[in-house]
Structure 1
Amino acid sequence: MNFYFVKKPSLLRDGIQELLKRRFNESHIICCNQFNYEEIHEASIILIDVDEALTKLDDLERLHNEGVKIAMWVEDLGIRGAKPLFKMGLEGYLYYDIDEDTLVKALRFIIEGKRYVSPLLGGMLIDVYRKSHIKKVKPPLDLLSRREWEVLQLLVKGYNNVRIADELFLSDKTVKNYVSSILHKLHVPDRTNAVIKALKKQWLYL
């Protein structure tokens, strides 16, 4: 597997590069200062800094359409102009304040064909989907039970387990079991990613 990490030189970049070499030692890890389509189009997965990504939107969309897995690396929650990258529906949106195990877990999710979004970036992605997918709900009742669907609807509203339990007249433990079942069936690691998937699939809207 060809793994490209596109980010300007820094101690952080060096640390991540060593981490990738250590935890993905069967992959070919390539670090680039700048995005170069001719070099990078053979990548299996690309981890790219958001500032560099914003200068290469057309190339990234082309690669994404060709099936290359792309994850965006974000260090500033106040980044402006990143909406096109969130609308693109990339495989990963990673915030720099992430521990090693979570980063590895996120990248393995992406390699497996799943999507990972850091919880702190979830709000940005949800906002994009909220504004661009205002359509009739489409319950995935072939995938989720009716009760799981009811729980998912309340997750999208931002309810915690206690509030969901009160709303549906269930125990906290039962709600926790439903949430775990939803995450398993949707192949997502957490509630934020479950909500994002539901919005992306147009099952629900905010």
Structure 2
Amino acid sequence: MKIDLIKNPSLLRVGLVNALKDCFPNSDVRVYSSSDYQLVLNEYDLQDVIIIDIDTDINLSETIDLYKNANKKIILWTARLDDTSLIDLFKLQVDGYFYVEMEKKELTVAITSILNGKYYVHPSLSFLLEECVRINHKTSDKPVGILSEREWEVLELVIRGYDNEEIGQSLFISVKTVRVYVCKISKKIEVPDRTNAVLKALRNNWIYT
């Protein structure tokens, strides 16, 4: 596997590169900075995954379009939750949205999930899901046989932003039972956490709220 990282030189970049090499020891990890932008454009078809720091001084829209058209896996990486461009970038619906606080294990799970055709949003960026609700279709299309009726009810409340206690009060079940349901839902729809359960349900128009 070939992984490209577009991020300007820093100690943080060194740490991220080392983490990628540790997580995927048989992979070829290449690193670019803003000054290498033309090289990135010329070699866009030579990798499987590209991770782009949104603070890098490049044309993000142009780069994302280029890699999307080449069917490459695209991940946006940020160190700032207050970046005003995040909402607009979320509308582009790339394969992953990573946050600086990710541990090695989480990095491995996230990239592996993306390579398997899934999406990943770091829980710290879950506020972006509100935008996903707005830009999704207005109808729902629940798949048959994946979740029980009660699990759909729990998932709908998770999408609405209810915490476990609020879900329990709404459905007259204990917080412990809510946790069990959320865990079961995540396993059944093959996502690592509740944030990505919401994202998958919205992307597939399973629930509209």
Name the TM-score, length of structure 1 as normaliser: 0.89
Is the Cα contact below 8 Å between 1:2 and 1:27 reproduced in 2?
yes
Query: Does 2:159 align with 1:136?
Result: no
SS across alignment from 1:141: coil
Q: Which residue of 1 aligns with 2:96?
A: 92
User: What are the within-5 Å matches in structure 2 for residues 97-116 of structure 1?
Assistant: 97-116=101-120
Between the aligned partners of 1:75 and 1:62, the Cα distance in structure 2 is 24
Q: Structure 1 residues 152, 101: closer, same or farther in 2, change over 3 A? A: same
Gaps of 5+ in 1: none
Gaps of 5+ in 2: none
Which digits, 9 at most, give the CA deviation of each residue in 1:108-139, with x for residues without a partner? 22223222111111112x12212212512333
Q: Which residue of 1 aligns with 2:185?
A: 182
Q: Which residue of 2 aligns with 1:30?
A: 30
Residue type matched to 1:190 in 2? D
Residue type matched to 1:153 in 2? E
Is the Cα contact below 8 Å between 1:141 and 1:149 reproduced in 2?
no
Is the Cα contact below 8 Å between 1:47 and 1:73 reproduced in 2?
yes
Q: Which residue of 2 aligns with 1:73?
A: 77
**How many equivalent pairs are there?**
205
Q: Which residue of 2 aligns with 1:12?
A: 12
Between the aligned partners of 1:70 and 1:76, the Cα distance in structure 2 is 19
Bigger shift: residues 27-36 or 169-178: 169-178
Between the aligned partners of 1:53 and 1:202, the Cα distance in structure 2 is 34
Q: Structure 1 residues 53, 88: closer, same or farther in 2, change over 3 A? A: farther
Between the aligned partners of 1:152 and 1:120, the Cα distance in structure 2 is 19
Residue type matched to 2:178 in 1? V
Q: Structure 1 residues 141, 165: closer, same or farther in 2, change over 3 A? A: farther
Bigger shift: residues 187-196 or 96-105: 96-105
Query: Does 2:175 align with 1:172?
Result: yes
Q: Percent identity?
A: 37
